[in-house]
Amino acid sequence: MDEQEVSICRICRLHETRTRTVFGEGDPEARIMFIGEGPGENEDLLGRPFVGKAGQLLDKMIAAMGLSREKVFICNIVKCRPPNNREPSPDETASCTPYLLRQIEIVRPEVIVTLGRPASQYLLQTKNSMSKLRGNWHSWRGIRVMPTYHPAYVLRQYTPETREAVWSDLKHVLVALNLPVPRAKSD
Ligand code: URA
């Protein structure tokens, strides 16, 4: 599978309103895969995941982990922007899932970090709230999954509690991978 195949996808209605598909990017051998919900306006224009304000915060979170965008893999549940940034509908998500599954199969990450409620609930097939999900390890087909707050949510709730919660989740990931835990915080 490559970006080209996704770029011509017309399986669901999201293709009608997209500017560009957003395949995902990063190291195909990454140990950590970040999965968001779906492209927003900037991502739709540029064809790259997490390049708007939330993306800048994600970059900071990754930098705080002592890593860089190039060393992880970043993608979304759906590859086309839902109009007005609405949540992807169940049929859109279902149509796009084969692409995500193949990305996970190819990268074979040791840890998946799901960003926000829709991505976390969808991957883990649960209706539990983020306050229950985040901070705890889950498993998806044998891969460890750490849900954490979406960076867009962190920007809306820019409190020490929210930022510390995310940093705590990311520290769990570093420890699980035997990576050094930098002192820096995720802000
Ligand atoms: N929000 C997401 O969930 N994904 C992106 O790529 C950008 C913003």
CATH dotted code for 3-176: 3.40.470.10
Single-letter code of the amino acid located at 31: R
The residue assigned the tokens 């993306």 is: 55
Compute, in angstroms, the gap from residue 84 CA to the centroid of ligand 1. Answer: 13
Pocket of ligand 1 (CB under 6 A): 36-40, 43, 49-50, 54-55, 76, 152
CB-based burial label for 129 (10 Å; 0-12, 13-18, 19+): exposed
Nearest CA to ligand 1 atom 7: 50
* Residue 175 Cα to ligand 1 middle (Å): 26
Confidence (pLDDT) at 186: 45
Kindly list the domain boundaries of the chain, sorted by start residue: 3-176
For residue 49, how far is its CA from the centre of ligand 1 (angstroms)? 6
List alpha helices for 65-134, DSSP H. Answer: 90-107, 117-124, 130-133
Ligand 1 midpoint to CA 136 (Å): 22
Q: Band of the pLDDT at 2, cuts 50, 70, 90?
A: confident
- Tens digit of pLDDT for each residue in 52-109? 999 999 999 999 999 999 999 999 999 999 999 999 999 999 999 999 999 999 999 9
pLDDT of residue 175: 98
Q: Which two tokens stand for residue 103?
A: 């990305």
- Cβ–Cβ under 8 Å, residues 80 and 54: no
Contact by Cβ (8 Å): 45, 80 = no
Quote the pTM value: 0.97
The answer to whether the CB of 11 falls within 8 A of the CB of 104 is: no
